[in-house]
Amino acid sequence: MLSRTSLGVIAAAFFGAVLIGAPAIAADEAPAASAHEAPIPPRNDWSFAGFFGKYDQEQLQRGFQVFREVCSNCHSAKHLAFRNLADPGGPQFSEAQVKALAAQYKIKDGPNDAGDMFERPGRPSDYWPWNFANDNAARTANGGGLPPDMSVLAKARGVKRGFPWFIFEALPGVAYQEQGADYIVALMNGYRDNAPAGEKLDGAQNWNDYFPSHKILMPKPLSDGQITYADGAPQTAKQYSQDVAAFLMWMAEPKLDQRKKTGFRVLFVLFILTGLLYATKKRLWSNVAH
């Protein structure tokens, strides 16, 4: 009979060979497959990352400006209501600012008593209007591509780093949930003037290092000096992209501040409760051999 140790060694070797060896053989077979893979977006230093992270109100206000002046020309944001811009944990504009902002937009309403649809000034309870009547109208106006809705985009673009690194993204201290915002920054700054040699772009396509197929219909949206910030922040494409990515993250996860604050309290109470229960259990069982 084999000893337990040698059995264990044999087993470990077997599983190691299966899990590492077989895919390695396959990688040799198909080296071309990875050439098209977009690289993992580099990380940014986000105020809302980590255990104590929270949104930077001024950054969200700047990000909103970028969203409003640039993105929202083509993209929708169906779940963003004007009133949200005054919510705690967000850009937190004043109620009056939000009211004035909403009134600048025309909202389709109706039907009125005559049965007609009509336009009226927006109210804080209205949702962010879109420049297009429907998806098809947006496609036609954008070279056949549908600009995706931005409401939860920052959560829909999370890029996983793959096994085994992604495991660490769950662990306290190194947990990371901001891949979507990183992707947006990388995409904004990932445009190249020309496609690399051997690649052909059709029609309205542009080359972007971080877009999954690299061929993206959206033209480079942000350039240095394009938007005038009132608060003196640098007016560079990099800054714009980080600000708008933070804003999109807030739009996708508007309760993040409340979530982390509540979570901190919940964990605090749970640690105390678990400690007390454990001490109680220890004492109760102290007279039982077990």
Binding mask 249-278 for other proteins (x = CB under 8 A): ---x-xx--xxx-xxx-xx-xxxxxx-xxx
- When asked if residue 30 is in the footprint of other proteins (CB under 8 A), the reply is yes
- The residue (of 188 and 252) whose beta carbon lies closer to other proteins is 252
Contacts of 161 (CB under 8 A, 6+ apart): 40, 169
Interior/surface letters 92-130, b for 16+ CB within 10 angstroms, e for the rest: bbeeeebbebbeeeebeeeeeeeeeeeeeebbbebbbbb
Instruction: Give the residue among 110, 106, 128 at the shortest CA–CA distance from 118.
Output: 110
Which residue is listed with tokens 């929270």? 54
* Distance of closest approach, residue 161 Cβ to other proteins, in angstroms: 12
- When asked if residue 24 is in the footprint of other proteins (CB under 8 A), the reply is yes
- When asked if residue 143 is in the footprint of other proteins (CB under 8 A), the reply is no
- When asked if residue 37 is in the footprint of other proteins (CB under 8 A), the reply is no
* Distance of closest approach, residue 135 Cβ to other proteins, in angstroms: 10
* Distance of closest approach, residue 29 Cβ to other proteins, in angstroms: 5
Q: Which of 40, 70, 152, 204 binds other proteins (CB under 8 A)?
A: 152
- When asked if residue 13 is in the footprint of other proteins (CB under 8 A), the reply is no
- When asked if residue 280 is in the footprint of other proteins (CB under 8 A), the reply is yes
* Distance of closest approach, residue 23 Cβ to other proteins, in angstroms: 4
What's the distance, Cα to Cα, between the start and end of the chain in Å? 33
- When asked if residue 140 is in the footprint of other proteins (CB under 8 A), the reply is no
Query: 3-state DSSP: the chain helix, strand, coil percent, rounded to 5?
Result: 45, 5, 50
Q: Which of 68, 83, 139, 238 binds other proteins (CB under 8 A)?
A: 83
* Distance of closest approach, residue 183 Cβ to other proteins, in angstroms: 9
Q: Which residues 193-232 are close enough to bind other proteins by CB under 8 A? A: 212
| Cα–Cα distance for residue pair 205/218, rounded to 1 Å | 7
- When asked if residue 54 is in the footprint of other proteins (CB under 8 A), the reply is no
Burial of residue 58 (number of CB atoms within 10 Å: 0-12, 13-18, 19+): middle
- When asked if residue 100 is in the footprint of other proteins (CB under 8 A), the reply is no
Neighbours of 47 (CB within 10 A): 15
- When asked if residue 148 is in the footprint of other proteins (CB under 8 A), the reply is yes
* Distance of closest approach, residue 235 Cβ to other proteins, in angstroms: 31
* Distance of closest approach, residue 3 Cβ to other proteins, in angstroms: 9
Q: Which of 172, 196, 198, 225 binds other proteins (CB under 8 A)?
A: 172
Q: Which of 76, 177, 205, 242 binds other proteins (CB under 8 A)?
A: 177
